[in-house]
Amino acid sequence: MLKRDDWLDLARKLDWELSYVSERDAFPEVQSGRPWLPQTDWAGWDEPFRTSYPEYVAGQQAKEASVAAVRAAVGRLEDFQRLPPGWLESLKLHAATLPLAEFAAVVGNLRAARFGRDSAWRSAALFGALDEMRHTQIPLLLMHDLVRWDPQFDWTHKLFHTNNWVAIAARHLADELLLASDAIEFAIATNFVFETGFTNVQFVGLSALAHGVGDRMFEQMVGSIQTDEARHAQIGAPVLATVVKHDRQRAQYLLDKWFWRSWLLFAVVTGFSMDYLTPLAHRQSSFKEFMHEWVLDQFVRSLDEFGLERPWYWDLFLEALDNYHHMVYASAYSYRASVWFNFVVPGPDERAWLREKYPASWPDFDPIWQRISDRWRASDPGNDFAVHGTAIVSFCDLCQLVLSGGTPRDNAANILDHGGRRYVFCSRPCRWIFEQEPDRYAAHKDIVKRVLAGEAPANLVALVQRYFGLDYATWGRDAFGGVYPWLDRSRP
């Protein structure tokens, strides 16, 4: 009987010499990506896991059994009902942004499983596609049990099917990253930047946070997903190495573009959770500290290893670490009826913690929360619309998120006239990304353009209900109805 290493490469690394079609016809650039190189230039491609199909099936079966066992033990409704309110909101946010994006990643992986330029790459991508199907199904299954208790959990499946502003931003990113990318861009953008750089470590951090608050089910879920991510993310590095060797400029461009795009989504989802929605007693580090320890150090090391530069906007990015998620959270809090999860006002203790963690920027945010707290103090408990914005907010024409770049002192939004249309961007990197490939992005309309074109209502309540897909049962509120122990309503 052959030993594993004697047969494995016959199964996973076997590239045929094509004779009936040309290599360019079998692997067209539009699907396989740039730079287009002959297979001989990819022949050395490899990744460390070198998984066989029987090993994959056995490993995944064990993981599924483990998730099922934890679900049976601590995945009941009563177990979720015991979790801190803020954490449940973090759960709703993550649950909604995760599964259907993962489902889009099935398509990206399958494109690589067909058009990746080396058979071992295609083999690893096929496992990646199977992984992503699992990552779609697990959160849909687990959160479905909670819908009868809290209809906001229905957005786990619903979000991506709506025109909610977060869904538009998430689709804009996921469509390009996962559905529209060729195999090379997918490998660098998704496997290397998004997964190796962000989500792989995000899941480690989230798993630890979930453990801290006692959410064993979520801890198990993200831990299980992370082990898949850690494997298929390995596709990215060897693809990047080959692209660097043959077209260093394109490699740098793809890294610069996707690091910024990934960062914006990551800051909103994980920044909200770590610095606002996780109860103070369970926070282990600030979002900024987490980014420095888990994302930046590793990413910079990777760049050095590949002989690449830090993105040109690196100083802006470091400034954004102090500001961006705080800008968006305060904005989103004051428009919380436009999303499907609830928010928490940071009280005096949380604000003291944030001041300690963000000494350079928090003095600009503290007065905002003081005003919001004062408004709640003067309002009846539960009267969310007394502490809510009414104007239409504005959105970036690239990332489709709100214009909350820069700082409270100096918003970084900037205007570009292109092809007879006016575009606005939340930041210089978003504008730069647009300018590199304007044909790719120019036809997309942000919410404001849809309102002005009469495609979406201009009235905020109508916009929330008729366009964003929310209703009284599901729109976001203050998680405590504005009733906080520290908020003394007897004070004038």
Partner 1 sequence: MIPLYGFLEGDTIGLLVLANGDDSLAEVASKLQSAARLRAVIDGPITVLCGGQPIDPNTTVTEAGLQPLARVDVRRGRSA
Long-range contacts of 422-428 (CB under 8 A, 24+ apart): 423/397, 424/394, 424/396, 424/397, 425/396, 425/397, 425/398, 426/396, 426/398, 426/399, 426/401, 426/402, 427/260, 427/316, 427/320, 427/396, 428/313, 428/316
Q: Which is nearer to partner 1, 151 or 347 (CB)?
A: 347
How near is the Cβ of 434 to partner 1 at its closest, in Å? Answer: 15
Q: Which is nearer to partner 1, 381 or 408 (CB)?
A: 408
For residues 15 and 1, give the distance between their C-alpha atoms in angstroms, rounded to a whole number: 24
How near is the Cβ of 410 to partner 1 at its closest, in Å? Answer: 8
Q: Applying CB under 8 A, does 404 fall inside the site for partner 1?
A: yes
Q: Which is nearer to partner 1, 51 or 338 (CB)?
A: 338
For residues 105 and 13, give the distance between their C-alpha atoms in angstroms, rounded to a whole number: 23
Q: Applying CB under 8 A, does 173 fall inside the site for partner 1?
A: no
For residues 215 and 89, give the distance between their C-alpha atoms in angstroms, rounded to a whole number: 13
Q: 22 is written with which tokens?
A: 């040309």
Q: Which is nearer to partner 1, 192 or 475 (CB)?
A: 475
For residues 40 and 36, give the distance between their C-alpha atoms in angstroms, rounded to a whole number: 12
Pinpoint the alpha helices (H) of 308-391: 314-333, 348-357, 362-377
Considering only 73-81, 91-99, 396-404, 472-480, which stretch makes contact with partner 1 by CB under 8 A? Answer: 396-404
Q: Applying CB under 8 A, does 392 fall inside the site for partner 1?
A: yes
For residues 244 and 475, give the distance between their C-alpha atoms in angstroms, rounded to a whole number: 46
Determine contact, residues 303/252, Cβ cutoff 8 Å.
Answer: no
Q: Which is nearer to partner 1, 12 or 351 (CB)?
A: 351
Q: Restricting to residues 444-483, which ones interact with partner 1 according to CB under 8 A?
A: 448, 451-452
How near is the Cβ of 171 to partner 1 at its closest, in Å? Answer: 21
Q: Residue 245: which residues within 8 A CB-CB, separation 6 or more?
A: none
Type of residue numbered 120:
A
Q: 60 is written with which tokens?
A: 């995944």
Q: Which of 210, 263, 278, 199 is nearest to 232 (CA)?
A: 199
Single residue of 394, 428, 457, 487 touching partner 1 by CB under 8 A: 394
Q: Applying CB under 8 A, does 393 fall inside the site for partner 1?
A: yes
Give the CA angle between residues 208, 72, 105 to the nearest 5°.
Answer: 60
Q: Which is nearer to partner 1, 248 or 375 (CB)?
A: 375
Single residue of 408, 438, 457, 481 touching partner 1 by CB under 8 A: 408
How near is the Cβ of 366 to partner 1 at its closest, in Å? Answer: 11
Q: Which is nearer to partner 1, 409 or 491 (CB)?
A: 409
Q: Which is nearer to partner 1, 104 or 402 (CB)?
A: 402
Task: Tell me the per-residue interface mask from 319 to 358 with partner 1, x by CB under 8 A, - otherwise.
Answer: -------xxx-xx--x------------------------
Task: Tell me the per-residue interface mask from 411 to 450 with partner 1, x by CB under 8 A, - otherwise.
Answer: x-xxx------x-x-----------------------x--
Contact residues toward partner 1 (CB under 8 A) are: 326-328, 330-331, 334, 364-365, 367-368, 371-372, 375, 387-394, 402-404, 408-411, 413-415, 422, 424, 448, 451-452
